[in-house]
Structure 1
């Protein structure tokens, strides 16, 4: 067990303590969950908890949202023996694409693209992103799935904030997050400040050396 893991039991989602605060200013997201990915214990426990909560939800492919949704989505696809579909920001794919516009958390309008065709009509797509704040990027991905007559099986993220648009998404789809609704983590995420920031140390997330 790592020093970081010893700070809290797994059923309290101990790895959420490892998320790093924003140190670069308001043009960036308010925290960085990628510190979970680099620590092997944290990353594996995150995936296990998400898959436990996904349970028997049925899906045919995992769609990961550009860019950090690629990390989490690809890992979940590998764990479940499912194919992975990257959903990219505009201008990145070298094949024919569908496009959908969305407004991101900073208020900027952007386009998402998906290969055309990506799947057969009726395919159930599990959409995965690292973080859902305003729900704008996820909206774009949902549009793309619909444009190719797919079905959104559910939405997955490390955390999903309770903003008005996100509450609408919760009413329409199964939404799974490592930050459990109603928990202290949810309250802190909605306030956009984690109490663990007070004791955050980058060295707590360092991966173990393999001899």
Structure 2
């Protein structure tokens, strides 16, 4: 198996192996999990995000249900801090605080966080796989601040550009593998990647031991 040509590191080569949606408009428009299954891609993604987070201090990383758990837990382990899951409502068997939020599909749902989760003043880094409309992240911000935590920053594979995400960038350090001003950012804003034309599922296959 041959990975795509990595090219210059700042081109974030691993974004080329993200998969297009094949199931219709009830699902997100692409699938970044092909990055996670490939060890080299996943570790390069984490390296790039951690480099960009070098000036951001946090006491805990919070991952948003569900795919934010993957990226958030990996970043927490690399950073040597704890991990806090922020879940869809009804999943936790302990006392929780709960807020409504609007997801990328326009549906209203609820998310919850254990109560109490941390001491007042705790710096919480919020992580999701993708920030599109920003509604899920808004719910997470409210949950953290209601427990008197401090939002230390936001992390995602990509943060699409719109009024809400511009507001986030004005308020918090925001880090994404898709860098603002890049051709990747322009593609994400249009919700289609140039790389889809050459997409091959086998490009993400993990190495196997023979």
Q: 2:87 matched to 1:96?
A: no
Map of 1:1-211 to 2, 5 A cutoff?
Answer: 3-211=2-210
Report SS of the residue matched to 2:5.
Answer: helix
Give the distance between the partners of 2:195 and 2:203, measured in 1 at CA: 12
**Structure 2-normalised TM-score?**
0.98
List alignment gaps of at least 5 residues for structure 1.
Answer: none
Per-residue Cα deviation, 1:137-163 (whole angstroms, up to 9, x for no partner): 000000000010000000000000001
Report SS of the residue matched to 2:165.
Answer: helix
Superposition RMSD in Å: 0.9
Give the distance between the partners of 1:34 and 1:164, measured in 2 at CA: 27
Residues 7-16 or 82-91, more deviating: 7-16
Count, aligned residues: 210
How many Å apart are 1:7 and its aligned residue? 4.8
How many Å apart are 1:90 and its aligned residue? 0.2
Give the distance between the partners of 1:193 and 1:31, measured in 2 at CA: 8
Give the distance between the partners of 2:115 and 2:123, measured in 1 at CA: 16
How many Å apart are 1:79 and its aligned residue? 0.4
**Structure 1-normalised TM-score?**
0.97
List alignment gaps of at least 5 residues for structure 2.
Answer: none
Per-residue Cα deviation, 1:114-145 (whole angstroms, up to 9, x for no partner): 00000000000000000000000000000000
Report SS of the residue matched to 1:6.
Answer: coil
